[in-house]
């Protein structure tokens, strides 16, 4: 485990605890509510494909929250989760010194919650939505790539995944229109 400390005029301004590969530690993730949220309650610490696991986390959250809150309240919660993500990813990115650290997966979780809200509950539709969303999130076709490169801070982290969700929903709507 490595600890990186930055000093400015004899005042500590930043301490990061990370392993030899530059991944934040569990201690870092639980040290602040923003880190805990940005890292998807710790899911972002998974060393392989954390974005995929962050996307998968939307399934149980959706299954739990939507019936609990009802349609209208769940729909009202989604923009709040997005704004909370902007804050959490901004704070965490600044603390890590990395604009969009791979372990920050709240952006995938919230964006896919939005996709699930508009996707039929049938497993085939949801599986197709998952694959499409991951495809758009990984490949980042234009204009997703443009915004991924130009927007910074928490808004930049969250916005490119929001666009991936939009493209996913657009494809699903087209598929439903053509094939019913």
Give the closest residue to 5 by CA, choosing from 106, 88, 95, 136: 95
User: pLDDT per residue over 127-163, tens digit each?
Assistant: 999 999 999 999 999 999 999 999 999 999 999 999 9
Q: Is-contact 164 137, C-beta < 8 A?
A: yes
Q: How far apart are CA 156 and CA 152, in angstroms?
A: 5
The tens digit of pLDDT for each residue in 51-97 reads: 999 999 999 999 999 999 999 999 999 999 999 999 999 999 999 99
Q: Does the reported pTM lie above 0.95?
A: no
Domains of the chain, by residue range, sit at: 33-179
pLDDT category at 28 given cuts 50, 70, 90 is: very high
Q: If pLDDT is split at 50, 70 and 90, which confidence band does 14 have? A: low
Query: Which residues are registered as beta bridge partners of 15?
Result: 5
């Amino acid at each position: 485990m490595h600890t990186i400390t930055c000093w400015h005029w004899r005042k500590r301004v930043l301490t990061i605890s990370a392993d030899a590969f530059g991944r934040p530690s569990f201690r870092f993730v639980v040290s602040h509510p923003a880190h805990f949220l940005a890292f998807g309650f710790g899911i972002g610490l998974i060393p392989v494909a954390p974005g995929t696991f962050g996307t998968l986390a939307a399934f149980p959250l959706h299954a739990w929250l939507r019936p609990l809150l009802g349609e209208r309240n769940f729909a009202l919660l989604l923009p709040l989760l997005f704004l909370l993500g902007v804050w959490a990813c901004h704070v965490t990115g600044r603390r890590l010194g990395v604009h969009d650290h791979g372990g920050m997966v709240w952006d995938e979780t919230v964006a896919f919650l939005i996709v699930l809200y508009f996707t039929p509950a049938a497993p085939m539709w949801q599986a197709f939505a998952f694959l499409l969303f991951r495809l758009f999130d990984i490949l980042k076709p234009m204009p997703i790539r443009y915004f991924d490169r130009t927007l910074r801070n928490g808004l930049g982290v969250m916005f490119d995944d929001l666009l991936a969700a939009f493209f996913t929903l657009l494809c699903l709507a087209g598929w439903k229109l053509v094939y019913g």
